[in-house]
Amino acid sequence: MKTRLLTTSAVLLGITLATTGGAFAQCTEIGMLTWEGYVDDAWVKPFEEETGITVKRTYVGSNDEYMAKLAAGGGDYDVVTIVSSLAERAIGAGFVEPLDVAQLPHIEQIFAGFRDLEFIHKDGELYGVPTFWGTTPVTVNADVIPEGEDFGILFDPEYAGRIGMWEDVTTIADVASYLGYDNLWTLTDEQLEEVKKKMIEQKSLVRTYWSQAGEAIELFASGEIVASNSWNYITQALREQGVNVREFVPENPVGWLDSNFVVKGSDCAAEAHAFIDHLIAPKTQGQIAEATGYTVTNPESREFMDEAVWEQLYMDEGPDLLERIEFWQDIPRRGRYLEVWNEVKAARQ
Amino acid sequence: MSGATVQDAGAARGWRIPGGWLLVGPPLLYLLVFLVIPYGEILLHSVWQVDGYVISRTLTGDNYARIVENPLYRQVLWNSFSTALLVTLFALAIGYPLAFFLAFVARRHRQMLYFLVVIPLLTSFLLRAYTWKIILGRSGLVNSTLTSLGLTDGPLDLFLYNQFSVVLTLVYIFVPFVTLPIYASLEKLSRDQIEASLDLGARPFTTFRRVILPLSLPGVVAGGTFTFALSFGDFVAPSLLGGPNEIMIANVIISQFGTAFDWPFGSALAMVVVVIVLAIVGIGARLEKR
């Protein structure tokens, strides 16, 4: 017992020395604000055992809740996972603080394209560490639509009454991207009108709009719909249920990226850095990919991942896909985007 | 115990105010906490505006102007209105005969039937809406029955994800709401009046039209108002069972508080709904008095 205590202290001391450059401010517990399932025991336990730092996790149910919790004062948390669409706002609002890259040895390994993304930087400083991401793919019933990888499937009269669409502002971006626009998050009034026109045109083909993943899964499983813009998770869940579905990424896909940040004013910044770095370590990334079905940012994770998973998660296409992807970003005119959605639904053909 | 005695003694000496306050206090407090403050908050928010993730407290009429200017909001209010009207009419058409049956026809089984009317109210709204989805879907009960009877070749789409499924579900949910008040007013109705009418030679239908119906109108108005107000503000049925066209005002309001983060605009929309519903309740109350 005594020796173990000694070893732990020695390790702790080592880490503290290594990460804070000798200053004696050590924490034995850090708080993390994240989604459930993102920080599983499988990869948190090894960190806790290795460092003696306990990771206290608080789960959040929606992106809006994140902002509310951070706005209410970050005091309880040291690390927070923030999605790309809110990153700029969180940095701008001063909820998070700049990172010390020297304390993140693994950051060199992640795809450069992620490291250089604008919305995780401010004034030349890095704020967030991109950890995993996904696209909004198109999921189709492979029995009915065995081939074709075009977003246009969702506008094909052949599948009239069998199309589903995700009722979310992201869908506006999906359709805008299909129409060839590249300013997905800052569409002009004219462009929004075009998107709206296209979506109203599509209405006669649409069975229903869904808003929760569970709804989409059920719509596919019960045969109500055969194609929808979707989430990787939905395809995954349907496969597990034995539904013959396939998914593809449109030419210019829309995607989301979750990055980890250090909360402003954290007393345990060094430990927070250590944990954030642990989450992009190759082994952890392999575990995350297998457990969550989300694509990860560190290609060195290949050896810790099943080959099938590697392919399914587009890891091979990584840098190439990254070029074409449009990550969710802050939508300055969010209210207007939503209004377009409502106008689509209220329109009488 | 001793407190009560002191109180009583005080009251006996004509010192009534504390006792009176004790009686009036809790309801007043309730009104203040659950009505005045929340509605006041909504009213205030409706004349503020949002700037990013911050609500700025400068007075503005912009939110109301937006509601008037964009035909979207009239369309959505109309959707809610027409859906609520349909639901109310159908619920009354089903609820009235049901209440009549309970009050006058069912004798031995009245308790059990009454219980059967009430029992759906003990289950969650969401669950009941969801059940209809299972019944009406492509692989649902209706379609599989039709197909197995050889009446249709394949599953029909027309039962689910349209106005029909929304109205049907709401009618199902609100039938107990109209049945119970109508039953209550029929129950109170004195048998002597009916017998007098019949004795004086009125035929049963005339008796119903001239005696029973007018006397049960308060129940009809109460149940109808309830149903109208509640289905006007519903958002679950259109989002669970509605198709691409089903959008009601409550769906729009909810998205202002979530996705759009525009509480002020959502509040302005909510105020419009409050005014419409109050007007309906007012008309109902007036009808009831006559």
Q: What is the pLDDT of residues B53-84, one digit of tens each?
A: 678 888 999 999 999 999 999 999 999 999 99
Q: What pLDDT is stored for residue A54 in this prediction?
A: 93
3-class SS of residue A218: helix
Q: What is the mean pLDDT of each run of 10 residues along chain A (349 residues)?
A: 49 47 67 84 92 90 73 79 88 91 94 89 94 91 94 96 92 94 93 97 95 90 94 87 92 89 92 95 91 87 86 76 83 89 89
Picking from A70, A91, A345 by the largest number of B CB atoms within 10 A of its own CB, the best residue to mutate is A345
| B108, burial (CB in 10 Å: exposed 0-12, middle 13-18, buried 19+) | exposed
Q: What pLDDT is stored for residue B4 in this prediction?
A: 44
* pLDDT tops 50 at residue B21: yes
Q: Is the CB of B260 inside 8 Å of chain A's CB atoms?
A: yes
Which residue in the set A93, A169, A203 is minimally distant from B244, CB to CB?
A203
Q: What pLDDT is stored for residue B234 in this prediction?
A: 94
Q: Is the CB of B154 inside 8 Å of chain A's CB atoms?
A: no
Task: Give chain B's radius of gyration (CA, Å).
Answer: 25
Q: What pLDDT is stored for residue A17 in this prediction?
A: 44
Please indicate whether, in this complex, the C-beta atoms of A203 and B247 are within 8 angstroms of each other.
no
Q: What pLDDT is stored for residue A175 in this prediction?
A: 95
pLDDT, mean of residues B202-206: 85
| A154, burial (CB in 10 Å: exposed 0-12, middle 13-18, buried 19+) | buried
Contact (CB, 8 A) for A343 and A271? no
Please indicate whether, in this complex, the C-beta atoms of A345 and B247 are within 8 angstroms of each other.
yes
Which residue in the set B50, B155, B247 is minimally distant from A342, CB to CB?
B247
Please indicate whether, in this complex, the C-beta atoms of B161 and A208 are within 8 angstroms of each other.
yes
Provide the pLDDT confidence category of residue B5 given band limits of 50, 70 and 90.
Answer: very low
Which residue in the set B50, B157, B245 is minimally distant from A161, CB to CB?
B157
Cβ-based contacts of A346 with chain B (< 8 Å): 72, 75-76, 79, 245, 247
Which residue in the set A161, A211, A338 is minimally distant from B260, CB to CB?
A338
Q: Is the CB of B82 inside 8 Å of chain A's CB atoms?
A: no
Rounded to a whole number, what is the distance in Å from the CA of B117 to chain A's nearest CA? 30
Contact (CB, 8 A) for A207 and B157? yes
Which residue in the set A211, A334, A346 is minimally distant from B247, CB to CB?
A346
Q: pLDDT tens, B231-282?
A: 999 999 999 999 999 999 999 998 888 777 788 999 999 999 999 999 988 9
Please indicate whether, in this complex, the C-beta atoms of A64 and B258 are within 8 angstroms of each other.
yes
Please indicate whether, in this complex, the C-beta atoms of B252 and A206 are within 8 angstroms of each other.
no
Q: Residue A31: which H helix or E strand, with range?
A: strand A29-34
Cβ-based contacts of A64 with chain B (< 8 Å): 258, 261
Which one, of A64, A92, A96, lies nearest residue A80 by Cα? A96
Provide the pLDDT confidence category of residue B171 given band limits of 50, 70 and 90.
Answer: very high
Rounded to a whole number, what is the distance in Å from the CA of A8 to chain B's nearest CA? 44
* Overall size of chain B counted in residues: 290
Q: What pLDDT is stored for residue A8 in this prediction?
A: 52
Which one, of B112, B49, B86, lies nearest residue B166 by Cα? B86
CA angle B10, B11, B12 (to 5 degrees): 90
Which one, of A122, A133, A38, A125, lies nearest residue A87 by Cα? A122
Q: Is the CB of B246 inside 8 Å of chain A's CB atoms?
A: yes
Q: Is the CB of A342 inside 8 Å of chain B's CB atoms?
A: yes
